[in-house]
Structures are given as C-alpha cells and as structure tokens.
Amino acid sequence: MNEDPLRYEQLIENALRGVVRKALTIVAEKGLPGTHHFHITFRTDHPGVEMPPDLKAQYPEEMTIVLQHMFWDLAVDPDRFGVTLAFNSVHRRLVVPFEAVQIFQDQSVGFVLQFQEHDEGDDESVEDLASAPEPAAEGREQDGEQEDNVVPLDSFRKT
C-alpha cells in the first residue's frame, strides 16, 4: 500500500514531542522554575540512546530519570537531549533521542504525555483507518439523549 503522508497520529505525537523539546529547552536556558520537575521514561534499547554500559546492563529496555535538583549540562538538540545525572554519587552522561521518550511528566502541575511506539514498517493508510470498525461510544446517556463523545486515539491504533 502507498504510504499516506497524512498520518495524523504521528503528526500529533511529533507535535507533542515538540512540547517536551520546548520544555527542556526552557529549563536548559533558565533552570527549573518553582516546584517544576520532570520524570522522563525512555526506551534504553532505542537506536541513538547513549548511556554508560553498566547502566545499559542495569536498564536494558526502559529507564525513568528525574530532572529536579541534581542534574547538570542539560543540552537540547532538535532530535535529542543530553543530561548529566548522579548515579550512586557518580556523574554519568545520558543522550536520549526524543523518539525514545515514552512518558514525560511534570508532577508539580499534573502534566503527563504518553507516547506510543511506532515500528518503521507501521504504515497505516487512510483506507486502513476508514475500513476499521467503529470504536465503542464513550459518551453517557442522559434523559435518553447521548452526550457528545470523546474518542481516544487509541481506539484507532492497530494492535
């Protein structure tokens, strides 16, 4: 099938990864304001992740880091960020592509972004989505009338 350039799920996720990029850029330039702090979960086995071998052995698939009080040298590029963190009082440098990020969370304000993993060969077309069964209604009935529905993007994902 032809690859559809209007893959809205990926367009939205890329835009939301831009939110992560911008937040980290602000922190790299100005520091963390107030009580803000970030929990970032990422795939350690994703191509482009750079981390010391012993940490990679300890976290072979996934790792969550916290940017709050003790982090250094936060640098943000268009496709990745790098940061130095203390592990058992030893400073270690991590480089994480934004594509490897699974969860970005700022608990101080209750903000969470969760990303889906995309396979390189995951080329859904508009025809595939159009022929997919309708998702179950999420709305509630009130006095015999259906309220507006909010349909999560997950209902359109192939499993």
Residue 151, CB-side half-sphere exposure with 13 Å CA sphere:
8
Q: How do the pLDDT tens digits run along the chain, 159 residues long? A: 567 788 888 899 999 999 999 999 999 999 999 999 999 999 999 999 999 999 999 999 999 999 998 899 999 999 999 999 999 899 999 999 999 999 999 989 999 999 987 654 444 433 343 333 433 433 434 444 444 445 555 555 555
Q: How many domains does the chain have?
A: 1
State the number of CA atoms in the 13 A half-sphere of 8 facing the CB: 6
Q: State phi, psi for 142 to the nearest 5 degrees.
A: -135, 120
- Read off the pTM: 0.71
Domain of 51, CATH number, reads: 2.30.30.220
**pLDDT at residue 77 in the model:** 96
pLDDT for 157 equals 55
In a domain, 154, yes or no: no
Note whether residue 35 is domain-resident: yes
Tell me whether residue 16 is in a domain: yes
Residue 34 is assigned to a structural domain of this protein: yes
Question: What domain range is 31 assigned to?
Answer: 8-120
